Amino acid sequence: MKKNFVEYLLPVFGYIAIIIFAGIITIIALEGLPLLSKFSFFSLISGTEWRPTSLPPLFGFLPSIVSTFFVAIFSMLIAIPLSLGTAIYLSKIATPKIRNVLKPTIELLANIPSVIYGAFALLFLGPLIKRLFNLPVGLNGLNASIILAIMSIPTITTLSDDAISMVPKEEELASYALGASNLETIFGITIPSASAGIFASITAGFGRAVGETMAVLLASGNSIRIPHSILEPMRPITATIALEMAEAPVGGDHYRALFMLALILLILVLSFNLLSRHLKAIYRRKLYG
């Protein structure tokens, strides 16, 4: 009887989660899509001016979209080499004793609140970047990219380590039997075999970077214009929503523009997460048939 009750209850929890998720998407869509009755979608995503209080108001999403990808891409350029190097070291080089200490430490970084990362970027990284590059202000895309890279490292490292560890030992032993060194085996056999899983980890990290709010809000400089350099202040989608949602009149065009931005952000993050899951499925089929 107890087993039957549990088997009945678990699917209910799953359906509740699906209903909540569908409800969130529905609410965001219902609040944002009415804006399209006044502004075309193309004019919104291609507009370069964001002036919601002007007459007439201007809702150009392009500065926030470009800033989002600017920060996310540069953060991956920093995070990917560090994460993959760490994952390779943990999987193939580190002793069990070192691995048992280092891996939980890296995973612990994922549990630090994002506001702490943001405060670190605001109070330490920002002034450091300002001095190093002789800038008027250190809150810019580079600052946000560095802190997002630090926040993405646990995700990419952990998932890449899992992917590398799942590579069949027989393939590596065959490489050693042919006289290959440890490094030759790692980069010639292990990494190519784990490539789908590694790319899935990178995709998950990129999705995390695109969707991060508080750290970006504190680190990016919050300049709502199209950036031309990573050293310029910028404002990604998440920062725009967080800064302006409280002051936007409910039901007004400004309010609906922010929800439209939220819908675009949701689609982006979901796309990266679905791509990551698809790549993981491909990797599992490749390993287990």
Distance CA 23, CA 26 (A): 5
Q: What is the pLDDT at residue 12? A: 84
Q: What is the pTM of this model?
A: 0.89
- Of 235, 62, 83, nearest in space to 161 by CA: 83
Average pLDDT, the chain: 91
Q: What is the pLDDT at residue 289? A: 59
pLDDT at residue 285 tops 80: no
Q: What are phi and psi of 179, to 5 degrees?
A: 95, 10
Q: What is the pLDDT at residue 253? A: 95
Q: Higher confidence at residue 190 or residue 283?
A: 190
Report yes or no: 48 and 65 within 8 Å, Cβ to Cβ.
no
Report yes or no: 121 and 215 within 8 Å, Cβ to Cβ.
yes
Task: Identify the three-state secondary structure at position 223.
Answer: coil
The model's pLDDT over 150-182, given as tens digits with 9 standing for 90+, comes to: 999 999 999 999 999 888 888 888 888 888 888
CATH tag for 2-288 (out of 3.40.50.10490, 1.10.1060.10, 1.10.3720.10, 3.40.50.720):
1.10.3720.10
- For the segment 57-73, the average pLDDT, to the nearest whole number, is 95
| DSSP of 269-283 | HHHHHHHHHHHHHHH
- In DSSP terms, 59 is beta-bridged to 50
- For the segment 82-89, the average pLDDT, to the nearest whole number, is 95
Tokens linked to 273: 């997460």
The C-alpha R_g of the chain, in whole angstroms, comes to: 22
Report yes or no: 248 and 32 within 8 Å, Cβ to Cβ.
no
- Of 148, 160, 154, 158, nearest in space to 199 by CA: 160
Distance CA 28, CA 86 (A): 39
Report yes or no: 48 and 182 within 8 Å, Cβ to Cβ.
no
What band does 238 get if pLDDT is binned at 50, 70 and 90?
very high
Q: In the 8-state DSSP scheme, what is residue 34? A: G
| Least confident piece of the model among 84-88, 133-137, 181-185 | 181-185
- Of 256, 224, 251, 255, nearest in space to 240 by CA: 224
pLDDT at residue 288 tops 80: no
